[in-house]
Amino acid sequence: MPVYETDMTKSETIFAPATAPLTLAILVLPQSSILEVASTLDPMRAANRHLGRDAYRWRIVSPDGAAVPLTCGIELPSHGGLAQAKGADALVVIAGFAQWQGAGRDVIRDLARMGPRFAAIGGIDAGAWVLARAGLLGGYRATVHWEDAEDFAAAHPETEVVPDRFVIDRNRFTAGGAAPAADLMLHLIRARHGAALALQVAASFITSARAGGEPQVAQSAARPPPDLRLDPRVSSAIARMEARLDSPEHAAAIARHCGLTARRLEQLFQTALGVSPAAYGQSLRLQAAKRMVTDTRHPLAEVALRCGFASASSLSRAFQRQYGKPPSQMR
């Protein structure tokens, strides 16, 4: 377990043995993922069921007090605006796409004012962006979704950004996405009520907890799911592609890294995924480009450079073939 997690249990923190109920105010921003909301709430619900009492309590708040539209089209009911967070032990911000629109100047101002009142403050996925904008992560270690890590580090140099699944630093905690949020909540349950309860909760969802210090990218959305039982050499090649989106290598170079010939790597990819290494690598880079086009304001020339394309025009041509429209229209 990382040192910064272990040290937390030795001080006054929500991540420590406790018998008193814990109340969380959860600020959910528009265009958050329902999976991130469920990953945060359901472990607490399951813990209460196993304990037979309400050891964990929560209230959902939103920027304007209204129901929150999620990415799946469902509206999440809210208990009210941010003022309803008053009195909670901890505040958690869940954010996804377009967090800068969901958290306007009024929300950032209120978070900056209210933040010190909570025993702990956390962010899920782009929630770290919101906390940093409110000045609540300066001098702390934190994580954010792996696709945003580079931009986040550049925008907020006062925060030490690490690629971990989740991070706990004193009274701040952050998680990189939905699955890491569940890991974080299981860690909270284990810290407060012991490993046995955490195992029971994990078993309720037929899953297991992963350590916060594990890297996010090993479970990135671009990586094929575990049930495909990929040849380890294919997994190694994909990991190398993911790590070099801005400077893609030829298949021959990737094959050498994996101890294979280019022909053998081609065969393994065709068998496992039905595409060539080059085609799979380009799909990874186009996925990253699509996220930057829709979720950031970077110029297309910069998007192209950071996703391994020679120019904005070459990116646009590949983008058009993949998604049926140029990046300018999708933006």
CATH of the domain at 285: 1.10.10.60
Q: Is the pLDDT of residue 36 over 60?
A: yes
Q: Is the pLDDT of residue 317 over 70?
A: yes
User: How much is the average pLDDT of 204-210?
Assistant: 76
Name, in order, each residue with C-beta under 8 angstroms of 220's C-beta and a sequence gap of 6 or more. 146, 242
Q: Is the pLDDT of residue 228 over 70?
A: no
The pLDDT value given to residue 140: 98
Q: Is the pLDDT of residue 92 over 80?
A: yes
Do residues 238 and 195 both lie within one domain?
Answer: no
Give the integer Cα–Cα distance in Å for 204 and 211.
19
Q: Is the pLDDT of residue 186 over 60?
A: yes
**In the chain, % of residues over pLDDT 70:** 91
The pLDDT value given to residue 208: 66
Q: Is the pLDDT of residue 77 over 50?
A: yes
**In the chain, % of residues over pLDDT 90:** 74
The pLDDT value given to residue 117: 94
Domain interval for residue 175: 3-204
Domain stops at, among 169, 204, 239: 204
C-alpha closest to that of 86 among 109, 56, 114? 114
The pLDDT value given to residue 10: 35
User: How much is the average pLDDT of 64-85?
Assistant: 96
Q: Which residues partner with 329 through β-bridges? A: none
Domain stops at, among 173, 204, 235: 204
Give the integer Cα–Cα distance in Å for 230 and 105.
46
Inside any domain, residue 185: yes
The pLDDT value given to residue 26: 98
User: Domain holding 71: CATH number?
Assistant: 3.40.50.880
The pLDDT value given to residue 4: 34
Q: What is the mean pLDDT of the chain?
A: 89
Do residues 192 and 252 both lie within one domain?
Answer: no
Question: Degrees (nearest 5) of the Cα angle 183, 189, 192?
Answer: 140
Name, in order, each residue with C-beta under 8 angstroms of 180's C-beta and a sequence gap of 6 or more. 143, 165, 166, 210, 212, 216
Name, in order, each residue with C-beta under 8 angstroms of 40's C-beta and a sequence gap of 6 or more. 26, 92, 94, 124, 181, 182, 185
Burial (CB count within 10 angstroms: exposed 0-12, middle 13-18, buried 19+), residue 140? buried
Looking at per-residue pLDDT, the higher value among 64 and 101 belongs to 64
Q: What DSSP character marks residue 16?
A: S
Whole-model pTM?
0.73
